[in-house]
Each structure stands twice: as C-alpha cells, then as structure tokens.
Amino acid sequence: MQKNTPVTPWAYIPTLYFLEGMPYIIINAVSPVLYANLGYSNTQIAFWTGWLYLPWILKMFWSPLLDARSTKRRWLLGTQSALAAMFLLLAALNTWNAFCHAQELNNLTFFSLSLFGLLAGAFVSATQDIAIDGYYLLALTPARQSYFVGIRTIFYRLSMIFGSGILVAATGALGKAGLGAHNWSCLFLFLVLLFAAGALWHRFILPCPRQDVAAQTPVQNAWGDAFKTYFSQANIVYILLFILLYRLGDALLEKIVPLFLIKPQSEGALGLSLHAYGIIKGTLGLGAVIAGNLAGGWMLGRYGFKKCIWPFAVILILPNFFYAYMAWVKPGVSTAAVLITLEHFGNGLALMAFNVFIMYVSTGKYKTSHYAISTGIMALGMMVPSMLSGWMQTRFGYEVFFLAASLLSLITLAVVPLTGKIKTLEETEKHFRSRSIGLQDAD
C-alpha cells in the first residue's frame, strides 16, 4: 500500500496500541511471575523489578528529542524492530539458564543479565510510547482523537490482559507438557514474532501525516520549551498531585498480587498454578476489562469527566479490599476468579478517566512532550510504592499488607477534588466534546 493512500484509522490504531501495551505488561507485570516461578523471593522481585519503571519516568527528558529528530512514524517502526531483538535476547538468556542451571534456584547471574535485558527493553518500550502517542496526536484530527480514545484504550488494555493472562496460561500449559523452564523461552519467541510482524505491518500501512516532521526548534530549545510550558501551566500542583496519587493503590498491589496468587499456600498465598492464573486473567479478566473500558468511555462521553471522576475513583479503590479479604479468608478458585474479574472491570472503567485527564492536560505546541511528561510522572508514582511493596509484604505478611494497602489507597479520594480546581480541564473537554463524531464518521 502506498503511504499517501487514505487509510482508515481502524487499520492501525488497534495494532499500534496493542503493541504499545504488550512490552509494558511483560516487563512490569509478567517479569515478577517469571522470577517467582524460578524461585526468587518477593523482596528481590518487587525491589529490582520496581526499577524497571525508571525508563517511563525518564522518558520525559528525551521526548523532546523525538519532536526534534526525524518523524514519529520512523521512531515507532524502529522501536518495534528493537523490541523484537530484545525479546530474542531474553529467549536466549532463558534457554541458557534452563540448560546450564536447571537445578539451581536463585541463579543471580541469570537474574542480573535478564534484568538488564528487561531494562534495555523498557527504555525502548518507553520510546515507543512517546512515538505512538505523538503519532496519534498528529495523524488524527481532534474529532477522531476524541472518538478513538476509547478504542485505543481498549486495545492497550487488551494487550495487557493478553500478555499477563493468556500468554502466562499458555506458558504454564507448556510447562506441564514437559518443557520445564524452556516454556518461558517459547513465550519470548512468540513476542519476537509478534513485534517483527507488527513492524512489518506498520511499515506498509501507516500513513505519513503532513504534520509529522521534525520540529524546527533546536533540540535544546525544544527540550527547555517543552518543560517550561508544561510546568508553568495553571494549576500545575493540582495536576501533579492527581497524576502521582490517583493510582497509589494500584502501585502498591501491582507487584504483589501476581505473587500472592501463584506463590505456595505454605507461604500464605493462594497457590494457583500458572495455567489457572493465566486463564482467570486472560478469559474472565479479558471480558471484564473490555466491558469496563466500553462502559467508562460511554459514561465519559455522555456525562463528562467532572461527573464521572468520583464514582470511578470509588470503583478503582474497592478491588484493593477484595485482596485484603482473600488474604485473610483464603477462598477457593471460583471466589478468587469472581473477585479478580470484578477488579478488572473496575480498573478498566476507572482508568479511562485517568487516560482522558492526561490527554486533556497535554496541549499546545509540545503536546507529545507534555503527554510523555505526564506519563513519566505517573510512572514515578507507580515505581516508588511498588519497590517498597515487597519489603512491606515480607515484613508484615499478606494479610496486613493488603489491608494497609487498601487503607492507603483511600488517598485517591483526597486528590479527586483537586480536578475541580483545574479550569483548563473543563475548557479542553468542551473543545473535544464539541468536535465529537459518530461511528459512521470514524473511518
């Protein structure tokens, strides 16, 4: 297909955001499952994999370089090819570990090398995020941006559930089939093929937007101007507090929940198999997150951010108490599956508001950089609590940890009122809502 041929956004928005979410969930959520399956401690896993958030924090510092160098289209094609290479490296490392250290738990050489590979992949993935989000803002009109914000969120979340659910379930099934630790190599090889195919597809299908050109501003000026315009906007303190604290509960639970679900019952956990864990996350969770995203997008479109943020915040907090209940009661698989499904629905619903908030505060000439700065600040809010969560759980046990995390997550209700003081938020929403389009206009 020629690059100047009109292409419906349906041909590339779903695939772009599916590939954007995949490395994030593999690096930040599936890596703890990998290390837990290989026998590493909760403290080791939470602390060291917590560092993998670092590139998403730092990406705000190199995002202006993407504005000033080359095009977003070239950046995203290059990063997708690089991610295929990174997953190939991880497959080779895991195969080496399985052959040479099959009987050795806590092999620190493998842990260090694989962690370095994941960190390198995280830097590439963070760069891909900047490129894709920037391309989205340049390739689509404001009306189409408003329409596809729900679609892109659904496919981003689909990739996260697919990666942490279906792929983990398949990995567990391969382990039961006799592949042993080589099952993780198969997972990484699948990801190699996925990103290689994605890079090839996007090379041929992506349009070349007229606005997708390197900024004329010198790199130094672009970097300075991007930060200056972001941090000098009105109500910046309220914006920062909301971004940092809205997901505090998620940050505390993200590393520990997978460990709680799959670690042995003798350690106070639920002791689910990899296969059962993946099925629950990848089937029930898959349907729930789609339903949550669709419901959230519809409610935000109909009632607006201001009316939705309070009920969405409450729904975001409630699942944290589900895990406190499970830690104390140790329910069966069926009850756990129901509660995890409700958690996915609540998150799918509530995080729509967060995504819209970040989009609304990313405005002006450097909207790509502003979006990257916002998501980098969000990553900082996720990184620090997640790194401490392993120590907290080991020190106090699952029961006290989940109860404390649930109570701490109530701080979300303290930052929600701050959004009502951000005047530009309401103005931006009116602009987007006035340009909204119907399904028939989305091609």
Instruction: Tell me how far CA of residue 283 lies from CA of 163, 276, 280, in angstroms.
Output: 12, 10, 6
Q: Which residue has the tokens 């104390």?
A: 328
Q: Is 176 inside any structural domain?
A: yes
For 401-436, what is each residue's pLDDT tens digit? 999 999 999 999 999 999 888 877 766 666 555 554
CATH number of the CATH domain containing 318: 1.20.1250.20
What is the rounded average pLDDT of the residues 13-23?
Answer: 95
What pLDDT digit, counting tens, does each position of 187-234 carry? Answer: 999 999 999 999 999 999 999 888 777 655 555 566 778 788 888 888
What pTM was estimated for this model as a whole? 0.81
What whole-number distance in Å separates Cα of residue 403 and Cα of residue 243?
Answer: 23
| H helices present in 140-213, as ranges | 142-161, 167-174, 182-205
| pLDDT surpasses 60 at 382 | yes
Crossing angle of helices 219-231 and 367-408, in 10° steps, is: 50
Task: Look at residue 263 and tell me if it is in a domain.
Answer: yes
Mean pLDDT of 135-158: 82
Residues 6+ apart with CB under 8 A from 51: 115, 119, 383, 387
153 pLDDT band, cuts 50/70/90, is: confident
Contact 398, 75 (CB under 8 A): no
Residue 3 lies in a domain: no
On whether residue 6 sits in a domain, the answer given is no
User: Per residue in 242-279, pLDDT tens?
Assistant: 999 999 999 999 899 989 999 999 999 999 988 888 88
Structural domain includes residue 4: no
Query: How many domains does the chain fold into?
Result: 1
In a domain, 443, yes or no: no
Q: Are 118 and 89 in contact (CB under 8 A)?
A: no
Q: Is residue 9 part of a domain?
A: no
Is the pLDDT score of 281 beyond 70?
yes
Residue 172: domain span: 14-437
User: Rounded to the nearest 5 degrees, what angle is found at the Cα of 357, between the Cα atoms of 83 and 352?
Assistant: 70
Structural domain contains residue 246: yes
